[in-house]
Amino acid sequence: MVGARDPELVRPPFDRQGRSFRTLRLSLTPVCNFACRYCDPESSPGKEPVPITRRPADFYLRLVERLLEVTPLHTVRLTGGEPTLYAQLASLVAGLAALGLSRICLTTNGFLLESQLEALKAAGLTDLNVSVDAIEPAVFERVTGRGGLDRVLGAIDRARGLALPLKINATIMRGLNDCQVLPVFEQFAAAGIEVRFLELMKMGPLQTNHEQFFFSEAEILARICERFTVRRLERQPSATATLFETGDGRRFGIIANHSAPFCSDCDRLRLDHEGRLFGCLSSAIGYTVPDDKHALIATLKGALEEKQPQRFTGSALSMRSIGG
């Protein structure tokens, strides 16, 4: 259970900027059934990959348990690749809930989600982020390399029916889906669902042409302001998204890695599908999790040192491999 920390180790590792790890992003597989233009345009989706069991749920649970002994983690976000391809997802969620974590979240493309929702909710999933980059089917297919918007929307309806708290992620690329900013916002806002627009990050396939496709926070806001008045809300500490509210009370967020970087109070730690720790998205080095608590603290300190001081500058890794 959370709280069973060694009294000698009550002060968790902090870096020079006072940052420590409180939220964990656990990437369950680098495999995906989509081929999003900003993440993995070279893969060939269509054939459904077989469910993945390379590492059993117990493997990840033991690692999280060890981390909980020395860090004040309160949230685990399950991601990938596509986490709904991981065969033991519901058992893993149940195990994480039993460890006492206050939030267990899932980020998914939603294509395989609907049939898993009931089991995930029963296991203790607390909230969901579903990626929907376009509401027009042809644009959705152009971004994701695969059709299936109707299936994703069906899963979203089912999640609402189960009263699972839900947000939408929409990553915007100039010339590809910037025409969808208003339609995505209006469709989901009308249903009372908050959208998080993501500025494109210079990762993986975008190393050479990021500038060409980048669509800024100001440009996203300008699109929303074509139809709504908007006010900026106060940013919460360690939050990735800046929140906004329209004159008629609809909320949305923008995760503006480039325009409004949030590295200075970042509290995120990453664990990849092989159980390697990463202190920052920009780090290419993964650490193994030592058994010994003091060695683990030293490892976490090393991982904290790898965080960017102020802003993310890019990574050759795709989000798919390190976990978005």
**Site of interaction with ligand SF4 (CB under 6 A):** 32, 34-36, 39-40, 80-82, 109, 319-320
Among 169, 180, 240, 282, binds ligand SAM (CB under 6 A): 169
Sheet holding 127-131, edge to edge: 230-232, 242-246, 251-255, 194-198, 166-171, 127-131, 103-108, 75-79, 23-27, 268-271, 277-278
Among 35, 200, 224, 304, binds ligand SAM (CB under 6 A): 200
- What is the nearest approach in angstroms of ligand SF4 to the Cβ of residue 87? 17
- Nearer to ligand SF4 (CB atom), residue 307 or residue 320: 320
Is residue 303 a contact point for ligand SAM (CB under 6 A)?
no
Is residue 79 a contact point for ligand SAM (CB under 6 A)?
yes
Give backbone dihedrals phi and psi of 4, rounded to 5 degrees, phi first: -85, 50
- Nearer to ligand SAM (CB atom), residue 71 or residue 315: 315
For the segment 107-126, give every residue that binds ligand SAM (CB under 6 A). 107-109
CA dist 304 and 75 (Å) reads 18
The 10 Å Cβ neighbour count of residue 9 is 15
For residue 313, give both structure tokens.
């500058």
For residue 213, give both structure tokens.
């496709």
* Residue with the CB atom nearest ligand SAM in the bound state: 324
Helix pair 89-98, 57-70: axis angle to 10 deg = 30
- Nearer to ligand SAM (CB atom), residue 68 or residue 82: 82
User: With CB cut-offs between 5 and 8 Å by kind, which of ligand SAM, ligand SF4, none does residue 169 bind?
Assistant: ligand SAM
Buried b (16+ CB within 10 A) or exposed e, 233-245: eeeeeeebbbbbe
- Nearer to ligand SF4 (CB atom), residue 126 or residue 321: 321
Between strands 277-278 and 103-108, the pairing is unpaired
- What is the nearest approach in angstroms of ligand SF4 to the Cβ of residue 147? 13
- Nearer to ligand SAM (CB atom), residue 39 or residue 296: 39
User: With CB cut-offs between 5 and 8 Å by kind, which of ligand SF4, ligand SAM, none does residue 125 bind?
Assistant: none
Is residue 324 a contact point for ligand SAM (CB under 6 A)?
yes
- Nearer to ligand SAM (CB atom), residue 28 or residue 101: 28
**Counting beta carbons within 10 angstroms of the beta carbon of residue 260, is it exposed (0 to 12), middle (13 to 18) or buried (19 or more)?**
middle
Cα 164–chain centre separation? 17
The 10 Å Cβ neighbour count of residue 50 is 9
Indicate the residue type of 145: G
- Nearer to ligand SF4 (CB atom), residue 81 or residue 279: 81
Between strands 194-198 and 166-171, the pairing is parallel
User: With CB cut-offs between 5 and 8 Å by kind, which of ligand SAM, ligand SF4, none does residue 52 bind?
Assistant: none
CA dist 119 and 115 (Å) reads 8
Q: Which string of x and - marks every residue 19-48 that binds ligand SAM (by CB under 6 A)?
A: -------------x-----xx---------
> What residue ranges bind ligand SAM (CB under 6 A)?
32, 38-39, 79-80, 82, 107-109, 131, 169, 171, 198, 200-201, 203, 206, 319-320, 324
